[in-house]
Chains A and B, each alone.
Chain A
Amino acid sequence: MPDVISCRNLRKYFSDVKAVDGLDLSVENGECFGLLGPNGAGKTTTIEILEGLTSPDSGDVEILGLTWRKNERQLRERIGISLQETQLTEKLTVFETLRLFRSFYRSGADPEDLLRDLSLDEKRDARVGKLSGGQRQRLAVACALVGNPDVLFLDEPTTGLDPQSRLQLWDIVQRFRQKGGTVLLTTHYMEEAERLCDRVAIVDHGHLIALGTPPELIAKLQARNVIEFTSEPKLEQEVVQAIDSCAGVAAHRDGWQIRVHSLAEAVPQLIGVVEKQGVKLVSLSTHEATLEDLFVSLTGRELRDA
């Protein structure tokens, strides 16, 4: 089975930024693939090139075995897109908007059915301008789904949404996949990537820096747990690195973040070092390793403020 989405050696430079700098990706049929990275990593440029909305400086893109140059209209019938920041017409109702989008496709879902599936039926006759953030986003996804696409592209689908709306959206994506659909999404939420995606590509400065399933990627850390702590005064990096079970150190806020194999061994060792150095421990917390920790270990920066 050929890849549903594939691109080779994709490049897009803007006047001062290399937004995408030699990217290869392939997404298999029925897969949910995540592009993960901080703001400005080139995620949106990448997804818009794949969506045929931006043309790359160089590189090839194939979607469903078709290319944008030769088969644009055919492709548009078969993919659904939700852009990062579309403001749909505020004066139209939810139903009017969806029926408008439905009219562009030769075949597709019934708007009424789709509204019910996405729990928007109560808002059927409400103006788009009066919807909450979560409802608007669900409508945006409804517009992407109304042509019964084979592939769904979602650019930061849950950014700025409350937890409940985020869960509703995840549920919609999962139901689309159960029907055999392929999804490509960008996100800067680690939790979203871990929960939704079969495979994740971590991108930074237009480069691919890691690729794999979420457990595989986390395994790359060679550490199961992460300790974050601050002390007064701050310890020297060499001192922290010298802790036996420490697999890696990164700056974290005013203190350090260390990746460890075993909390049971590392925490007493850390306390010992703190006492020996005669500094005061201000805060200490631990968590299981996540994709976010991987990003920090790969780039030395944190995702949210990178």
Chain B
Amino acid sequence: MPEKTRIRPPIIELASTRTKEFLREKEAMFWVFGFPLILALALGFAFREKPPDRVPVAVVAGPNAQQRLAALGKSSTLLPRIMDEQEARDALRRGKVSLMIEGSDIIVYRFDATRPDALSARQAADDALQTAAGRRDVVASREERVHEQGARYIDFLIPGLLGMNLMGTGMWSMGFTIANARMKKLLKRLVATPMRKTDYLMAMFLSRLIWLIIEISVLVAFGWIVFGVRVNGSILVLIFLCIVGGYAFSGIGLLTASRARSIEAVSGLMNLIMMPMWLCSGVFFSYERFPDSVKPFIRILPLTLLNDALRAVINDAAGIPRIAFQLGILAIWGIVTFVIGLKIFRWQ
């Protein structure tokens, strides 16, 4: 007598086959994990923090030239070079240098006053030369540079990418799977069995949960290790927020796919829904730049809610009370879209 196959509850079978199916779909794995990492890497390096470039300055050859060159070289913001007069004038005209220093007893600064870098170079050069000549500061001063973790562009970007990814995978994982199963008549085949319809949808949510947690971990760990984007708030609050946000988008995805008969139809609808949020919800730049009249609408878009809350937790160490508004509205988005989606769902 051969050993009998152990039969698990349908919701577990559905969730586990759904997960296996996804694991075996290499393209899907790329879009969930590969793509956001590549995007974060590319943008992170493009906007990485680096010391400001030194401003090139021409010192016209003459008896004081070497002395001046040495004095200017001590400044951290200038890149001085000795040139003869004609060469220096050409360089200034072409923008290769921002400032030209000439004259023998009286120092002459020649520059274009409309260029900010020229103005600051003139100031720095004058300071350097006057100090070298023996000027003493009347009041003592020192510098304190601001370079706070949490204020860099990458600190802004990583939560935005996390939000965008949760939107994309939440919507696609529901929308694509459902439309595909409907098109292949798999949904119809399933409702021809005693399977409970809610089991099918709950299993999709369950298998989504597993991926959601992996997805969050990978992106957050990546931002932390590669760019030093720390999660200043509680990790548990972050995970809770991501689950609420992820499910809000699963609900929207379910609604989007509830009646579509083809992948094309569902893709079109998804892009129509996601496009405005990519642009307006502060993924790559702050939505503060939009006119005040549209901001209230932008603020209640699901991706804006999620991004605002993610930044509050990751950058500003916010706890649940400070993101309660976003959590609440996200939950409403998820529940309302899920209920409507289920109601109008086309099984065949």
Residues of chain A whose beta carbon lies under 8 Å from any beta carbon of chain B: 51-53, 73, 76-77, 81, 83, 85-89, 91-92, 96-97, 99-106, 110-113, 127, 143, 147
**Contact B185 A110, beta carbon cutoff 8 Å:** no
**Contact A81 B192, beta carbon cutoff 8 Å:** yes
Taken together as a complex, chains A and B put the C-alpha atoms of A15 and B5 apart, in Å, by 47
B20 at the interface (CB under 8 A from A): yes
Taken together as a complex, chains A and B put the C-alpha atoms of A91 and B14 apart, in Å, by 14
**Contact B7 A83, beta carbon cutoff 8 Å:** no
Q: Give chain B residues whose Cβ lies under 8 Å from the Cβ of A52.
A: 192
Which B172-212 residues have a C-beta within 8 angstroms of A? 184-186, 188-195
**Contact B24 A104, beta carbon cutoff 8 Å:** no
Q: Give chain A residues whose Cβ lies under 8 Å from the Cβ of B190.
A: 104
B2 at the interface (CB under 8 A from A): yes
Residue with the highest number of chain B CB atoms closer than 10 Å, among A97, A100, A112: A100
Using known A-B contacts A53-B191, A92-B20, A92-B21, determine if residue A87 contacts B184 with beta carbons closer than 8 Å: yes
Which 3 A-B pairs give the minimum distances between C-beta atoms? A87-B184, A76-B194, A103-B13
**Contact A147 B194, beta carbon cutoff 8 Å:** yes
A43 to chain B, nearest CB (A): 16
**Contact A100 B194, beta carbon cutoff 8 Å:** no
**Contact B25 A91, beta carbon cutoff 8 Å:** yes
Using known A-B contacts A83-B192, A89-B186, A104-B194, determine if residue A111 contacts B20 with beta carbons closer than 8 Å: no
Interface size on B, residues (CB 8 A): 27
**Contact A83 B185, beta carbon cutoff 8 Å:** yes
B167 to chain A, nearest CB (A): 25
Q: Give chain A residues whose Cβ lies under 8 Å from the Cβ of B193.
A: 76, 81, 101, 104-105, 147
Taken together as a complex, chains A and B put the C-alpha atoms of A113 and B190 apart, in Å, by 22
A60 to chain B, nearest CB (A): 20
25 contacts between A and B (CB under 8 A): A52-B192, A53-B348, A73-B194, A77-B194, A81-B192, A83-B189, A83-B192, A85-B185, A89-B186, A92-B17, A92-B20, A92-B21, A99-B13, A100-B13, A100-B14, A100-B17, A101-B193, A102-B7, A103-B7, A103-B14, A104-B193, A105-B194, A110-B4, A143-B189, A147-B194
Q: Give chain B residues whose Cβ lies under 8 Å from the Cβ of A81.
A: 189, 192-193
A70 to chain B, nearest CB (A): 15
